[in-house]
């Protein structure tokens, strides 16, 4: 069983930076991650941001901006171009190349700084003395590693929309939206947040008719509203996005086309038909399978131990304060083993 000073769960921007820095400070460090490349045949470090989020979206934004500028802005600079053509597949190919290069860069930094990279999903098992135990599941092949300090940096996953399933064929999440190889004639987007606006902007610039449906009655509600109002003008007037606020979704049907039935801000029933639909209604913590309950249960067991030993109830936080950072004492060891937390 391998033991480490620090084990990081997740190799996204939070995880891989933490792992590298811990190793640079002299800690024996491992990083566990289950990310795979686009082909699905090799590990890919970097998490959502690098593989199917921030970085690839910026690559597509840059490509689409160049195409739009060649069509609409070059002439005023005295630049004359011929019949400008757009190749969506080529744009995606460039994006994939950028992602591959950067994920390879993280692999190199792990090797350079002696970070042990473990592929698979991690779940808490319990504690063994000073060490937290983690089970690493690599496609059914399970191993156990131990770490004195565990950093949970598992990121997030797309929030599901109950009205329709994501198939990344006609109904897309962020990953599907970043891999379209043809420009849809009509593109629908559910959600006018960062992801929805980025993807809407990309595909609008290269020729799609884009409609964004947002449930909130105001645009970018978390932002300064003076800035949000100016941004709304830009996205609608300059870029030509059709952004509808205060929408209530009723039904979504996916077939050869995606049909969305909704009520607009006036409460009137509307129906829209799209070639593709992007669902971008936010993200939720990626904690599935982490088994954080094992940590909570262990903490409670420690509290139970002190309650039994002292003969009076002690809040578990107070009990933990007495043991954090200290080895599990022999008399506590037997108690916790009976509770099923520590391997003998």
Q: Residue 324 above 60 pLDDT? A: no
283-309 burial, b at 16+ Cβ within 10 Å, e below that, comes to beebeeebbeebbebbbebbbbbbeee
Last-in-domain residue among 254, 284, 314: 284
DSSP 8-46: EE--SHHHHHHHHHHHHTT--EEEEE--B-TTSSSB--S
Predicted pLDDT of residue 75: 92
Beta strands in 182-298 (DSSP E): 186-190, 209-213, 242-244, 248-254, 258-263, 269-274, 276-279, 283-285
Q: Residue 315 above 90 pLDDT? A: no
pLDDT in tens, 102-127: 999 999 999 999 999 999 999 999 88
Please check whether residues 207 and 321 belong to one and the same domain: no
Predicted pLDDT of residue 129: 83
Please check whether residues 270 and 320 belong to one and the same domain: no
Q: Give the closest residue to 285 by CA, choosing from 40, 23, 48.
A: 48
Phi, psi of 42 (to 5 degrees): -160, 150
Domain count, the chain: 3
Q: State pTM to two decimals.
A: 0.85
Mean pLDDT computed over 334-339: 62
Please check whether residues 89 and 167 belong to one and the same domain: no
Which residues, including other chains, have CB under 8 Å from residue 10's CB and lie 6 or more apart? Answer: 31, 32, 33, 47, 152, 153, 154, 155, 286
Structure tokens at 21: 């820095």
pLDDT in tens, 194-218: 999 999 999 999 999 999 999 999 9
Please check whether residues 129 and 223 belong to one and the same domain: no
Q: Residue 310 above 70 pLDDT? A: no
Range of the domain at 142: 2-154
Last-in-domain residue among 154, 180, 200: 154
Please check whether residues 122 and 149 belong to one and the same domain: yes
Quote the CA–CA distance of 168 and 38 in Å, as a whole number. 13
Quote the CA–CA distance of 259 and 256 in Å, as a whole number. 10
Phi, psi of 253 (to 5 degrees): -120, 125
Please check whether residues 120 and 31 belong to one and the same domain: yes
Q: Compute the mean pLDDT over every residue in the chain, rounded to the nearest whole number.
A: 91
Please check whether residues 229 and 261 belong to one and the same domain: yes
């Amino acid at each position: 069983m391998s033991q480490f000073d620090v084990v990081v769960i997740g190799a996204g921007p939070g995880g891989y930076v933490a792992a590298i820095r811990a190793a640079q400070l002299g800690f024996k460090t491992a990083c566990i991650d289950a990310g795979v490349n686009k082909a699905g045949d090799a590990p890919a470090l970097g998490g959502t941001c690098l593989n199917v989020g921030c970085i690839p979206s910026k690559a597509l934004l840059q490509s689409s901006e160049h195409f739009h500028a060649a069509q609409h802005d070059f002439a005023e600079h005295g630049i004359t171009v011929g019949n400008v053509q757009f190749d969506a597949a080529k744009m995606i190919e460039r994006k994939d190349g950028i992602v591959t290069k950067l994920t390879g860069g993280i692999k190199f930094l792990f090797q350079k700084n002696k970070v042990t990279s473990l592929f698979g999903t991690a779940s808490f098992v319990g504690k063994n003395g000073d060490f937290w135990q983690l089970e690493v599941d690599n496609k059914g092949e399970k191993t156990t590693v131990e770490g004195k300090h565990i950093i949970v940096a598992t990121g997030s996953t797309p929030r599901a929309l109950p009205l329709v399933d994501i198939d990344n064929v006609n109904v897309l999440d962020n990953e599907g939206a970043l891999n379209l190889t043809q420009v849809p004639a009509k593109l629908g987007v559910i959600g006018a947040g960062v992801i929805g606006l980025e993807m809407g902007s990309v595909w609008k610039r290269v020729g799609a008719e884009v409609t964004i449906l947002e449930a909130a009655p105001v645009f970018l509600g978390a932002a300064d509203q003076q800035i949000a109002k100016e941004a709304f003008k830009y996205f609608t007037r300059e870029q030509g996005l059709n952004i509808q606020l205060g929408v209530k979704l009723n039904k979504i049907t996916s077939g050869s086309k995606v049909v969305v039935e909704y009520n607009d801000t006036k409460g009137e029933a509307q129906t829209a038909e799209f070639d593709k639909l992007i669902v971008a209604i936010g993200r939720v913590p990626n904690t599935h399978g982490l088994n954080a309950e094992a940590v909570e249960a262990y903490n409670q067991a420690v509290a139970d131990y002190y309650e039994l030993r002292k003969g009076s109830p002690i809040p578990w936080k107070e009990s933990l304060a007495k043991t954090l950072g200290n080895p599990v004492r022999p008399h506590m060891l037997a108690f916790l083993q009976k509770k099923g937390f520590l391997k003998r």
